[in-house]
Amino acid sequence: IKKSVTSINLGRKNKIRKIFHDPVSEFDSNTKRWIKTPESFNRELLNQLNTVEAYAASKDTKVSVAFIARYHFLKPDHFDDLSKTFKKYLNIIFTTMHSSKGLGFDFVFIIGMNSTFPSKRTDDEIITMFMPEPDNFEFCEERRLFYVALTRAKKAVMLFIDKEKPSPFILELSSSKYL
């Protein structure tokens, strides 16, 4: 169904920001954690949190910030420290794309936008026998999840992107008028 979407908020036009960082080096399948988080990711994360905090302080209000990722294991190791450091003006939570359905936040940081998203894993053949016929376009369920994550923000979305291996969705968005 073709839709024309317009915003009632006529403020800043570009509500989606691309934040590039160095690639994460390695994933440990035993601990389900990234072995080395790049310093540029941490630096950019802090820069964006400082910017959002300055905005909240200028309004003398507390704002909600959600870190949203495809999987739980993408939660930053220092998440609890960040939450405590910025608690005066920011209420920071971590959630997955699935869990964020129906929720709303002032600012959304989508992390893990690298070549592993969308997931290329296919469903078990036995399960697919009992499921309705899938849509015809590529990565349809992953696209829906990305859409869910993008639409959780009331004010702005920050996409944290691996600069060497960005998600194919980022490449598609970059060639559109929305980014």
SS3 label, residue 17: strand
Token representation of residue 159: 């996409």
**Cβ–Cβ under 8 Å, residues 65 and 49:** yes
Summarize pLDDT for 4-62 with one digit per residue, the tens: 666 555 555 568 888 888 877 555 667 666 556 667 788 899 999 999 999 999 999 99
Summarize pLDDT for 112-142 with one digit per residue, the tens: 888 777 666 655 556 555 656 655 666 778 8
Residues 6+ apart with CB under 8 A from 87: none
Question: What CA–CA distance (Å, rounded) separates 70 from 67?
Answer: 10
CA angle 109, 32, 97 (to 5 degrees): 35
Q: What is the pLDDT of the chain when averaged over all its residues? A: 81
